Amino acid sequence: MAIYKNGNLLHHSQDQAFDAVHSPGTAAPFAGIYRCATCGHEVGIAHGHTLPPQGHHQHAPGIGPIRWQLLVFAQHNP
């Protein structure tokens, strides 16, 4: 689970971007932290990069494939 200290520096959002589930190896729509919806493994992704491929980390047999979900969106200053 992602950990933070200064909650006043984070903004709570209901944006649907946080509900979308992305396949391994596809373009990350935003820079930020992504969480595997299957096992909870988290990764940081830079702007313009792709999500880690299937096989990036191991799952216990039978729980299913890696599925990435946006956890924290990194907001860039204009």
Positions in the binding site for Zn ion (CB under 5 A): 36, 38-39, 41, 66
| Cα dihedral value 4, 15, 66, 22, nearest 10 | -140
In the complex, minimum distance from the CB of residue 22 to Zn ion, in angstroms, rounded to a whole number: 13
Q: How crowded is the C-beta side of 22, counted as CA atoms within 13 Å?
A: 21
In the complex, minimum distance from the CB of residue 30 to Zn ion, in angstroms, rounded to a whole number: 19
29 vs 42, beta carbon nearer Zn ion: 42
CA atoms of 78 and 7, how far apart (whole Å): 23
33 vs 39, beta carbon nearer Zn ion: 39
